[in-house]
Structure 1
Amino acid sequence: MLQSQPDQPLPRETEVKLAVPSAEAALQVLSAAGFVAAHERAFEANMLLDTPGSELMHTRRLLRLRDFRGETILTFKGPPEGGPHKTRPEVETCVADANAALGILNGLGYEVSFRYEKYRTTFARVGEPGHAVLDETPIGVFLELEGEASWIDKTAVELGFNAGHYVLKSYGSLFREYREKHSWHSQNMVFA
C-alpha cells in the first residue's frame, strides 16, 4: 500500500564533471588509477520535460525520462545546493512503459523541452563508495565522479585533476554554451 512520506528528505546526489580531451585519454587515466568497467559502454537517450513557461528550468529543477540499457528511468532532481560539488535532491524509478509515462507527464502539462544523447561507461574500484562515469557526448567527452564529496576530491587528485577543473553545469547548460560558440543550429544535443 502506498503511504505519503512528507517529512522524509529526498535522497541526495553529489557529483562533478571533468572535461577530458578524448575517451582514450580518460580510459588510460582510469585504468592507471585502478578503475575497471562496472558497466560496458552503452547508448543513452534522455528527454527533459518542462512546462511551456520553463518553470522547472527557471527554478533549477529537472524532470527526465532516460532510455538506457533496456530500461526507462524517470528522474526528478531538485535545485543544486551551493558548494564546490553539484549536490542536489534526486529521486529515480524505473517505468514499465516509456510511452505511457510520457503520456502521463504530457497530461500533467509537461512537454519535452530538450533531448540529449551520449555513450556512457561506468567504472568502479572494489570497496569504494563512489564511481566514475565516462560520457561521450556530441559536444565533448566528460568524466563524471559521483559519490561522497571527500571521495570525489580524493579521486579527482588521483586522476590528475583538482577543484579548479570541476564542471558543475548540466549537459543542457553546456550544450547552450557550445551551440552559441559553434553556431550549432540544432536545439538538441544529439548525434548526427
Structure 2
Amino acid sequence: MVISHSDKEIEVKFFVRSLPEIETRLVKAGATLVQPRTHEYNLRFDTPEGSLSQQKSMLRLRRDFASHITYKGPSTTLGGALARQEIEFEVSNFAAAQKLIEALGFRSRFVYEKYRTTYALQGMKVTLDEMPYGDFVEIESGQAETLPGAASALDLNWELRLPETYVSIFRRLKELFQLSFNDITFANFENVTVDLHRSGIQEADTALA
C-alpha cells in the first residue's frame, strides 16, 4: 500500500459514468483495496468573517472509519492537477474535536458527505467517490507527472480532468441550477436532478461504454 506522508496534496478528479467498471479496471491493473466503501461525513469550518475562504484555505473535521482534522492551504495548478498543502491527523473523539475547533473561534459553515472506496495503485491513491450530485474518480500522487499514466491505465480521458474540489463543483451547480441549500448531502439531493453536462463537465470514461 502507498499513501503519501507528504504534506503536499497533488490530485485530479474525473466525472465518470460507471464506478463499477473503473473498479474492475483497477483490479486488473493490480490495485490494492485500502478501504472498502465507507460513508464520510464532513464539517467545514471558518471564522465568522470567513477568513479561511478569503485565503482560499479550509479547515475540516471528517468522520468515516475514524475521525480526522484536516487543514488545506491555497491551491495551485501543477501539471494539470490541483496541488496544495495538506495537514491531517486522526482524533479519537469527533464531538470533542468539534468543540475544540469551535472554542478556537471557528464555526461550522456547511456539511458535505460522500461514499468513498480507496485503492492503492503504483504508488498513488485512487478513490471511487459517490457524491450526492454524481460519481467521480480521484487520483492522488506525490508527483504530478505520474497522474496522466494512472488515468490512462483506467481508460480515463486526461483532457476531461477536473483540477478542482467537490465544493467548488457544487458551487457551480448551486449557481447554475439555483439550488437553495448549502449542505452537500444525499438528503438534499434526493429530489433534485442536476445535469453536470450543463456546467461543462463531461464523463471521462466514455471509452468504457
Q: TM-score, normalised by structure 1?
A: 0.86
Q: Which residue of 2 aligns with 1:57?
A: 53
Amino acid at match of 1:94: E
Residue among 109, 112, 127 paired with 2:105: 109
CA displacement 1:110-135 (0-9 Å, x = unmatched): 1111211000001123xx21121000
Tell me, what secondary structure is at the counterpart of 1:124?
Answer: strand
**CA RMSD, 1 decimal:** 1.7
Unaligned ranges ≥5, structure 2: 1-5, 188-209
Q: Distance in 1 between matches of 2:157 and 2:56?
A: 26
Q: 2:77·2:163 contact (CA, 8 Å) conserved in 1?
A: no
Q: Equivalent residues in 2 for 1:32-111 (5 A)?
A: 32-69=28-65, 71-83=66-78, 84-111=80-107
Matched, 1:155 2:111: no
Tell me, what secondary structure is at the counterpart of 2:180?
Answer: coil
Q: Distance in 2 between matches of 1:114 and 1:151?
A: 33
Amino acid at match of 2:70: T
Amino acid at match of 2:112: Y
Residue among 135, 139, 142 paired with 1:145: 139
Deviation at 1:162, TM superposition (A): 4.1
Unaligned ranges ≥5, structure 1: 1-9
Tell me, what secondary structure is at the counterpart of 2:146?
Answer: helix
Q: Which moved more, 1:85-94 or 1:29-38?
A: 29-38
Q: Distance in 2 between matches of 1:21 and 1:183?
A: 24
